[in-house]
Amino acid sequence: QVQLVESGGGLVQPGGSLRLSCAASGSIFMLPVMGWYRQAPGKQREFVATITTVGGRTNYADSVKGRFTISRDNARNMLYLQMNSLKPDDSAVYYCNSPTAAASKFAYWGQGTQVTVSS
């Protein structure tokens, strides 16, 4: 029922940029906080960034501070992640979700979008 569709990933060289988009159903998008997560092969899914629905307050993982910018368009139910100065360690499948939903073992996840940073 919940729909989360991520897009914008691709292959880029170190130092390059990508802009990810997430189209979310209103039921989840209107939760207090939305965010981006990522999962690399053999690793746990990890928090990347969050933004509040009201006020647009942001929070970032230390590993991406100063390089990534999360934003949202409430009118369009869209979430974005501008990624600059990409590093090989940023390579992962990126997902959007709400922190509250993501904390559940039974959380719904979209297909994600693959980001590969390689020279």
Report residue 69's pLDDT band, with 50, 70 and 90 as the boundaries.
very high
Is residue 25 left, alpha or beta, with left meaning phi > 0 and alpha meaning psi from -120 to 50? beta
Say what the pLDDT of residue 54 is.
92
What is the rounded CA–CA span in Å between residue 117 and residue 38? 14
Q: Are 50 and 99 in contact (CB under 8 A)?
A: yes
Q: What is the pLDDT of residue 118?
A: 97
- Sign of the C-alpha dihedral computed for residues 101, 104, 108 and 110 taken in this order: positive
**pLDDT grade, residue 70 (50/70/90)?**
very high
Q: What is the 3-state secondary structure (H, E, C) of the chain?
A: CCCEEEECCEEECCCCCEEEEEEECHHHHCCCEEEEEEECCCCCCEEEEEEECCCCCEEECCCCCCCEEEEEEHHHCEEEEEECCCCHHHCEEEEEECHHHHCCCCCCCCCCEEEEECC
**pLDDT above 70: percentage of residues in the chain:** 98
Per-residue model confidence as pLDDT tens digits over 28-58: 888 899 999 999 999 999 999 999 999 999 9
Mean pLDDT of the chain: 95
Residue range 63-78: mean pLDDT, rounded? 96
Other beta carbons within 10 Å of 89: 11
Q: What is the pLDDT of residue 36?
A: 98
